Amino acid sequence: MATISDPRERPIAVFDSGVGGLTVMHELLVHLPAEDYIYLGDTARFPYGERTPDELATFSLEIAEELLARNAKLLVVACNSATSAALPVLQQRMRQTTLGVEVLGVVRPEAIQAVATTNNGRIGLLATNATVASGAYDEAIHAADPHVTLVSVAAQELAPLIQSGSTFDDKVVELVRGYIEPLREARVDTVILGCTHYPLLSPILQRMLGRDVRIVTSGVALARQVEHVLGARDLANPNRSEGSYRFLSTGDPEAFAAVGTRFLQLPLGPVEQVTLHEGVIA
């Protein structure tokens, strides 16, 4: 693939285990419309929430290599499980490349936003098993404010259910109700959606949690951080027109497209199927 001479005109790369990261992609497209984007959904190995940290690190490095080969100027890990397990190794490896690509994840911006939002110092977290087990949010919350309490709930069944495109029926409502009960009992006033699939459940969650509980998602906070990094490194695209965006999937591209529009809330267009290869990032 031909190299783009002006680094500012290279695309921002975004990846997730599936289509959930499109909720982050949506905010990037809205907040930074002049940028070009490339999104990779690793749907062939979805879900990530049941994977080991070593598997997640390996998958993430393979994806990073693919996106770097496609001229990425910045890598956004729009997956909480991958961020929790692989962000440090990704940052180390990508900074060693000739282009010195910066890597941003979803955990820290969301944790900071939650700490700034809470009034009573009790924050809830809904996330996958891998994310909860990693302790990444505990660490990020404690770093932001050691006096805040985090109540974490592993909601493993939610991401596959949302990814499948299933109708949100009474069974889904009862499943969600069971997951949030510990948060209600803990009297949290802020809830972090620690999986990029979960924003699609925001109306159900808000109704059950009550109007006084604030729900924090990663999209807006991460979009702001991307903007700051682009400005600090003089990588903002100078074009004033709307940029382009395209999609890659390791699984069935038609299935990705069918479900993805619901998450992106914008026209999706064609989806390219890709095969990832093990290798060392140059």
* Catalytic sites, residue numbers: 79, 195
Give the residue among 224, 161, 166, 167 at the shortest CA–CA distance from 195: 161
Instruction: State the virtual CA torsion across 132, 31, 100, 136 in degrees, nearest 10.
Output: -10
Angle at 236 between CA 220 and CA 218, to 5 degrees: 15
Three-state secondary structure string covering the chain: CCCCCCHHHCCEEEEECCCCCHHHHHHHHHHCCCCCEEEEECHHHCCHHHCCHHHHHHHHHHHHHHHHHCCCCEEEECCHHHHHHHHHHHHHHHHCCCCCCEEEECHHHHHHHHHHHCCCCEEEEEECHHHHHHCHHHHHHHHHCCCCEEEEEECCCHHHHHHCCCCCCHHHHHHHHHHHHHHHHCCCCEEEEECCCHHHHHHHHHHHHCCCCEEECCHHHHHHHHHHHHHHCCCCCCCCCCCCEEEEECCCHHHHHHHHHHHHCCCCCCEEECCCCCCCCC
Q: Pairing state of beta strands 245-249 and 214-216?
A: unpaired
Residue 124 phi, psi dihedral angles, 5° rounding: -100, 155
